[in-house]
Amino acid sequence: MSVAGHRIIVTGASSGLGASAVRHLVGLGAHVLGAARRLDRLEHLAADLAGAPGRIVVHRADVTVDADARAMAAAAVEAFGGIDVVVNNAGSEVQAPIDVLAESDLEGMLRANVMSVFLCTRAALAELRRSRGAVINLGSTVVARPPRGRFGYVASKGAVEAMSRALALDLGRDGIRVNVIIDWAGSIKMDQAMLDQLTEAGVKLERYRPLRWYNLGRMNNRTHRKLLVVDGRVGFTGGVGIADQWLGTAQDPEHWRDMHFRIEGPVVAQFQAAFNDNWVRTTGEVLNGAEYFPQLKPLGDLDAHLFISSQAGGSDSMHLMYLMSIAAAARTLDLAASYFVPDALINKALVAARHREVRVRILLPGEHMDLATVQLASRENWGELLKAGVEIYQYRPTMLHTKLLIVDREMVSVGSTNFDIRSFRLNDEASLNVYDRAFAERMTAVFERDLRQASAYSYQAWSGRPWTERFLEKFVLPLKSQL
């Protein structure tokens, strides 16, 4: 669907995320009303966008105030003759833009047939379902409504409740086929009522490798892939799951730092094949035909492919991909890893990279770590790396859940794969590899922005850690392959 000509409100438009949305939308030819409490940044942005294909109108508004939200809607209607989409960058706690627009004939104003609906209140969901419009929350996405999708994710309560409701009400009852795979072990704590709501609405839900007497030998081989495929044409992957800790923008320790990626083009067929791999093993059904594998023309200039691994299809393939990437590095290696428990071969490869004078920077979680045993198992081997000159940093603000590898600012690998033995040898994983210098530079800038919120960890700090920590490291070391 073309964005050109759409009439869009962007709240919180002076923030970095909001300004990026405005710049992108106006560049695509949309008519945008940018609303913010302060207009100085917005006015500069409007000046920068003079001559862009679209149009920008700036408006001062505090969208937590009902009167301001009403005035914002009226200004957009006056400027553009109506409203197609509201991009709400004010946070999930702010309901005014949605609720006030609902009072102002939301059904009449929101007419866009957009691909996704993201919103933050139940009332808004009901209004938008009737209007078929869209409110997109940049900072706090909790509900998604693609027209047709295949999903694979690990989930928990809160965000899951919203996702379940959206899928059940907006997808299954519309006659749209939805296939969902969740890992059996990873979903044990999920509320069965939520899952029942999905299946009752017609969503085909499967648990990957549930506990059975005949598959005890495969119980330790789980799917960790995070894939969403829409109509066989749009793919999503990264570190984000469907859970409460991903509802924010890493603004506090309860909301994690993570990245997720949307991609189109021929590589999406590989996303669909990766989902099919788990689906066939679970159901025996092959998802095929143009509905799942449409003809895909190249889009953009990036070369990319999806690299998958599994116990059945070659458990060492992801491990070898990382080893070869490290061995190929000639100048720089940047790694952001939520769980860093490398084996002896990976450690040796990283040390060898330093001997080739490759700069190696590793960004890891700091005090905000969800699995303390992983951090203990990881730190026991840091000494060798630090002594070789590997730079290790610990992220301060919140839990770092990013999975990112950048090699020589030429190749980028992102996806579900952790830098640990479980991901390398046991789990089903999927990583998107992109070969493009400009994209690698952009990801390096993101990496370095995170580094500015991290503390360097020195060899002196490692050698001076207390004996209690050293003892616990030795205790968890035999378990490192299972972490």
Q: Which residues are catalytic?
A: 224, 226, 231, 401, 403, 408
The total number of residues written for the chain in this structure: 483
482: three-class secondary structure by DSSP: helix
Using CA atoms, how far residue 208 sits from 89, 272, 379, in Å, is: 36, 17, 32
**Distance in angstroms between the alpha carbons of the first and the last residue of the chain:** 43
Side-chain-facing half-sphere of 411: CA atoms under 13 Å: 18
Task: Give the dihedral sign, CA 66/72/76/81.
Answer: positive
Side-chain-facing half-sphere of 170: CA atoms under 13 Å: 27
Strands of the 55-60 sheet, one edge to the other: 55-60, 31-36, 7-11, 85-88, 134-137
Task: Give the dihedral sign, CA 476/479/480/483.
Answer: negative
∠ CA(140), CA(146), CA(152), 5° rounding?
A: 80
Phi and psi, residue 206, nearest 5° = -130, 145
For residues 77 and 21, give the distance between their C-alpha atoms in angstroms, rounded to a whole number. Answer: 20
CB 88 within 8 A of CB 94: yes
Q: Kind and range of the H or E element at 81?
A: none
* Mode of pairing for the β-strands spanning 55-60 and 31-36: parallel
Using CA atoms, how far residue 243 sits from 240, 287, 365, in Å, is: 9, 27, 19
Side-chain-facing half-sphere of 52: CA atoms under 13 Å: 23
The amino acid present at 254, given as its one-letter code, is E
Q: Over the range 110-146, which residues count as b (16 or more CB within 10 Å of their CB) and which as e?
A: bbbebebbbbbbeebbebbeebebbbbbbbbbbbbbb
373: three-class secondary structure by DSSP: helix
